[in-house]
Structure 1
Amino acid sequence: MQQREHAADLLDLLRTGPFEAALDCAVRASGLSLERIRHRLAERGVEVSVTTLSYWRRGRSRPERPRSRQAVRLLEELLGVPTDGLVSLLGPRRPRGRWVNRDSEVLETAHLWREFVSLPELLAELGSTDDGLLRVAAHDSYALDAQGAGTRLTTRLTLKATRDGVDRCVVVLRGEDPDRALPEFADVRNARLGRLRSDRSVPLVVAELFLDRTLSEGGTTLIEYTLRFPENGRRAEECGRGFPAPALLYTLEVAFHPDAVPVRCRSCFSTAVTGEPVTGEPVWISAAGRVHAVFENPGPGFRSLRWEWS
């Protein structure tokens, strides 16, 4: 009965739009989960993550690229929508450029972390690659010791739920020294530490933080945690954060020890965590050995501070 009602609503939405409402109704009418839809698309040679499908469905992003539109045409077939029923609601492709249409992009996790082949398996062990949270704003504060190795990273995140029933935040962490013990979580606020999965050869850590309350779609929360690094680590040359989807603000502070201050520093953007920077602007190092960068409206990709010791 409910599926028939969705089918009736779908006919109206295919005439009037918007795209996200029609797609959402088509998914409901089909009775298929997003994971099942993703699997069927993959069987036809089109890879689209559950996160991206969820963002399309909720209007957070729109399929603009040719492969994305190809996926929409396959969605029409899978969901029993008339040919061009969904594609026609997208209209013509919008112009693209450095500042144009940035909010329509969602970067696949596999691309953002593309050199870390063990990451998909680590995420799968936690049950899902999508925690249903949008990183609205992030603030990282990184401190280094007299040898130039990281000692502490304090993170504050402003999070917004993209669906109902969100109760955890999944965190991906990358280290630089496989011979060093993994960092420990401390001072977790508004959440509690859940499962940890790691690949010591990278090193790479995936952690889940259970929120103090379950969020409905549009609900927000603030969480904070500190990572404490063991002593005798390798000299660090970078600190940053990857964003799979657009955010409002990212603030990054780095405090160097007075006995180990780099000769130069720059703020960088790259399309992947280990990618070469697309841009790099010089950043002033204060007399106290501190630097910071403020990234307003960061689009998908990796924002960081990188420095040189000599």
Structure 2
Amino acid sequence: MADESTSDSETFAGALRRALDHRGLTLTAVHALLADHGNPISIATLSYWRSGQRRPEAAASLSAVDDLEQILGLDPGSLSSLVNPTARLGVQPEPLVPFEERARRETEETFAALAAAAQADIREISTHMTAYTHRDGSVDRTEFVSVVQVVRGVVTELPLIDVAPEETDAMSRILDVVGGRLVREYRHPGRLVSGIVIELDEPATAGSTFTLQFTEQLPRDYPNRRSAWHATARPTKETLIRVVFPEGADPDWCEEYVESDTGDEVWAQRAVVHGRIAHAMRHGFGPGVLGIRWGGS
């Protein structure tokens, strides 16, 4: 049932009724148009949605809502943002920036300078990152593939933060973005933290997921980084970090480590390099930092 404490203008049912009235479409006509889009939602279900007796829940229903926005000439997210995702998402903890005090402060200032979307609107589902090193052991580039879920509202862009090993004027380059495009970047005056914003190819609404793929290339004048890490502000289903070393350039030592949401190291152990690759993997990890570091070659 619709929430009686919510005004009709704020509900999915209210927005759907107004759009149907504005277009002068019957439920029979909408049913036929949805079927043409590959979403054969029954007239009875559409009637329930219009009256507020039910809301879209299943994946097929949520897909139909996206088609409804097109059929009714609405902006993306106009209806889907009003579908309450709480039951599907569960209770979401507040995001925590998992760095020590200075990096945490400069990260928050960088988010503000980028006019970035609120981290409270999203959560990571999974991140796979692969770092490739030079023969001297320093990181050359890192490839990322992330699946992100929208917790509330409509998300059109994603901010990303980099914390350098030491203060520097050099800044990594973002290449080969798939699923979006780089629109803004910022280097904090403290010269330790930098950030970028990737605009998504399509808006993503509450309860939905999107995927981003990109490469971070470190310039040769970037501080020598012999670590690969990923920070998450909320628990994430899967985090995978891989480090690939050149043939014959295995490090003298390699270890996996974890930092808490305050930036304090809480755990470290030796990591084994198998066939030039070291990896660390966690399920349900966060908030915090998971990483691999190494030395010698």
Calculate the TM-score normalised by the size of structure 1: 0.62
Partner residue in 2 for 1:108? 96
Alignment of 1:123-142 (within 5 A): 123-128=111-116, 130-131=118-119, 132-142=121-131
Partner residue in 2 for 1:305? 292
Structure 2 residue 108 is the aligned partner of structure 1 residue 120: yes
Alignment of 1:41-56 (within 5 A): none
Identity %: 17
Counterpart of 2:282, as a letter, is: F
Per-residue CA deviation, residues 215-250 of structure 1 (Å, 9 max, x unaligned), is: 111111111010111125443232111111011101
Structure 2 residue 195 is the aligned partner of structure 1 residue 206: yes
Alignment of 1:197-276 (within 5 A): 197-199=186-188, 201-258=190-247, 260-272=249-261, 274-276=263-265
Counterpart of 2:285, as a letter, is: P
Return 5+ residue gaps in structure 1 as ranges: 8-56, 63-103
Whether the 8 Å CA contact 2:171–2:222 is kept in 1: the answer is no
- More relative contact order, 1 or 2 (CA 8 Å, 6+ apart): 2
Whether the 8 Å CA contact 1:135–1:157 is kept in 2: the answer is yes
Which of 247, 260, 283 is residue 271 of structure 2 equivalent to?
A: 283
Per-residue CA deviation, residues 258-281 of structure 1 (Å, 9 max, x unaligned), is: 4643222222211148432x1223
1:119 is paired with a residue of what secondary structure? helix
Taking the aligned partners of 2:196 and 2:181, their CA distance within structure 1 comes to 11
Return 5+ residue gaps in structure 2 as ranges: 8-84
Taking the aligned partners of 1:257 and 1:201, their CA distance within structure 2 comes to 33
Whether the 8 Å CA contact 2:110–2:193 is kept in 1: the answer is no
**Which of structures 1 and 2 has the bigger CA Rg?**
2
Partner residue in 2 for 1:25? none
Partner residue in 2 for 1:170? 159
Whether the 8 Å CA contact 1:137–1:157 is kept in 2: the answer is yes
The alpha carbon displacement at 1:153 in A equals 0.8
The alpha carbon displacement at 1:299 in A equals 2.5
Quick one: structure 1 residues 144 and 200, their matched pair in 2 at CA, closer, same or farther if it must change by over 3 Å?
farther
Taking the aligned partners of 2:124 and 2:145, their CA distance within structure 1 comes to 10
Calculate the TM-score normalised by the size of structure 2: 0.64
Counterpart of 1:108, as a letter, is: L
The alpha carbon displacement at 1:254 in A equals 0.5
Per-residue CA deviation, residues 86-123 of structure 1 (Å, 9 max, x unaligned), is: xxxxxxxxxxxxxxxxxx754422x5353223222211
Whether the 8 Å CA contact 1:244–1:301 is kept in 2: the answer is yes
Quick one: structure 1 residues 163 and 106, their matched pair in 2 at CA, closer, same or farther if it must change by over 3 Å?
closer
Quick one: structure 1 residues 127 and 234, their matched pair in 2 at CA, closer, same or farther if it must change by over 3 Å?
closer
Aligned-residue CA RMSD (Å): 2.7
Whether the 8 Å CA contact 1:144–1:255 is kept in 2: the answer is yes
1:241 is paired with a residue of what secondary structure? strand
The number of equivalent residue pairs is: 215
Quick one: structure 1 residues 4 and 292, their matched pair in 2 at CA, closer, same or farther if it must change by over 3 Å?
closer
Taking the aligned partners of 1:218 and 1:152, their CA distance within structure 2 comes to 32
